[in-house]
Structure 1
């Protein structure tokens, strides 16, 4: 429960008291909105809207009905539902795959709006206590694969699954947040779980990734960096699973399979191009800012890569554009060597 004196002062219009009450929840709400929306930028906007709405409505907050944390999650969830529904009304861009030079990418039925989330911000949120009915580890529930799968569900199913299975709220609490019946919550959860299970079965044969920061992870990451920076295509291909996929949000296509990825990378390293990688972490996974290496010149950023590992192999790489670099404290260019 919240401190009664702070709540009384906030209801009386004391902004400092409200910030003291609400700000401790900001980071976990940001992660929640990110899971709902798949977008770091949109999550930040949703949290800002949540805090404004909470400040405007704090006078009507009844502590005996729900905790402040639950009330904030209710506001944030409904802001995200509105954003998801608005996004679904925007027409999708159509692509003519014949326009591409070989190797031609593989179309994919995935969300076209997906962004990475910095681990430095996750660390402040994933250690929050969960409800007794949570089914997912917090690290698993922030992986790119999980967030991607969420974006393919209908908005209400996304909200129910996150609130119930990721955060562990009771069905009655979720029903109150969404202003629906408990039966409606249980029905949506059943459908969401079935959809996720079908997607998880596709990767069921893969070994689990090594623990974040473990020696096993460090070995494969070091091998990848050495091979990438030296443009050693054979060494890179040896690190891949047979069904590896390179995704490039927001484009709804990528490169699937070891052979196609090898051809794509061969073109990328063509004409002697070399790249330097600056390591970081996103969504609990190894990530890198990539910079074009120019002898004696400034090295400009060309992209941001997130690796998905399966055992001691790479099963996916997600490439984002350079607009995400600042979220990870990475510059747009590096000085010459």
Structure 2
């Protein structure tokens, strides 16, 4: 949301004796922060749809609160404080907005377990391109790439919201405890406690360390992604199974069904292939959460794509296939990586 033309706001510099050092049109200030605030809201909410809604609430609150901004903090910190609290308010007031569970048109095999983050959505890399390429602060523990991966965002959703907010502010964005405390309306000591509990819980949710994925766009990544796409679109399930790690998973948000291990994944894929008969999937390459991805639909269908598939790679294998069943998502993605599947 932009302000009316000519409305004054404040300089983006650090405070100078608590006075306003310059006046800038609000609609000139916000574009510098809009994309990184959207990413911040997405990390905390796990849903791009919800993040877009809360971003609009954040910008409206910032616009209305201009008169109360006294440059006791940088504009960036001020906006992050508003965005963080709007996210926490949304989680407290609305709870998690669970989308309707899709029903498979065939009888699937019994799932390995039921997922606990059905609201999870992917984040288009085309939006990441607009986030300023700034180094995280000295307190940051996570590299930029790791801090946007789908598994990391999903793990954040399993933390209590204030713990997740403390971890993102300190360990992802690199704010020191003293700077994060006013953003959470608490003390540095309280933030330290939230952070310690969040780090312990996050490590438990994320599991053991794994081999690094191939570099984005590398020959190794392209080769693995091409093999997956070829096997998936031809229902060559035996070949697909050879690409999986021993602990691989297949998840399908917002459906809660998850299949863990090659045997369980293969059973689901065979049931799907049997129901489709000769109808196969059509994939178009894109990227999400810094990972290779596809929009997908039945080949020859005139309808828009039915969802998005995001691949989690480790070493030279696939560790995760997350197939999002939501036809609202593909509009956010551009099929601009045609060479990735070649």
Seen in structure 2, the aligned counterparts of structure 1 residues 223 and 92 have a Cα distance that, compared at 3 Å, is closer
CA displacement at 1:126 relative to structure 2: 5.7
Whether the aligned pair in 2 keeps the contact of 1:138 and 1:166 (CA below 8 Å) is yes
Whether the aligned pair in 2 keeps the contact of 1:46 and 1:79 (CA below 8 Å) is yes
CA displacement at 1:300 relative to structure 2: 5.3
Q: Which runs of 5+ in 1 are unaligned?
A: 11-16, 331-337
Q: Deviations over 1:278-334 (max 9, x none)?
A: 00000001110112124xx6475333110101111111111112220101146xxxx
**Residue 25 of structure 1: aligned partner:** 33
**Residue 77 of structure 1: aligned partner:** 84
How many residue pairs match? The answer is: 318
**Residue 333 of structure 1: aligned partner:** none
Residues in 2 aligned to 1:288 and 1:109: alpha-carbon distance in whole angstroms: 21
**Residue 2 of structure 1: aligned partner:** 12
**Residue 315 of structure 1: aligned partner:** 319
CA displacement at 1:273 relative to structure 2: 2.2
Question: Helix, strand or coil: the match of 1:323?
Answer: coil
How do residues 256-271 of structure 1 correspond to structure 2 at under 5 angstroms? 256-270=260-274, 271=277
Residues in 1 aligned to 2:284 and 2:101: alpha-carbon distance in whole angstroms: 34
**Residue 171 of structure 1: aligned partner:** 177
Residues in 1 aligned to 2:97 and 2:302: alpha-carbon distance in whole angstroms: 39
**Residue 197 of structure 1: aligned partner:** 203
Q: Deviations over 1:172-208 (max 9, x none)?
A: 11111111111100000000000111223x233x322
CA displacement at 1:267 relative to structure 2: 1.8
The correspondence for 2:133, drawn from 119, 127, 134, is: 127
Whether the aligned pair in 2 keeps the contact of 1:126 and 1:138 (CA below 8 Å) is no
Question: Helix, strand or coil: the match of 1:241?
Answer: strand
**Residue 138 of structure 1: aligned partner:** 144
Whether the aligned pair in 2 keeps the contact of 1:303 and 1:322 (CA below 8 Å) is yes
Q: Quick check: which one's helix share is greater? A: 1
Q: CA RMSD in A?
A: 2.6
**Residue 159 of structure 2: aligned partner:** 153
Whether the aligned pair in 2 keeps the contact of 1:157 and 1:192 (CA below 8 Å) is yes
**Residue 219 of structure 2: aligned partner:** 215
Residues in 2 aligned to 1:18 and 1:129: alpha-carbon distance in whole angstroms: 25
Whether the aligned pair in 1 keeps the contact of 2:157 and 2:164 (CA below 8 Å) is yes
Length-normalised TM-score, structure 1: 0.87
Q: Which runs of 5+ in 2 are unaligned?
A: 1-10, 336-342
Q: Deviations over 1:1-34 (max 9, x none)?
A: 6269997545xxxxxx112122201110010000
Residues in 2 aligned to 1:7 and 1:18: alpha-carbon distance in whole angstroms: 15
**Residue 49 of structure 2: aligned partner:** 41
Length-normalised TM-score, structure 2: 0.86
Determine whether 1:305 maps to 2:306.
no
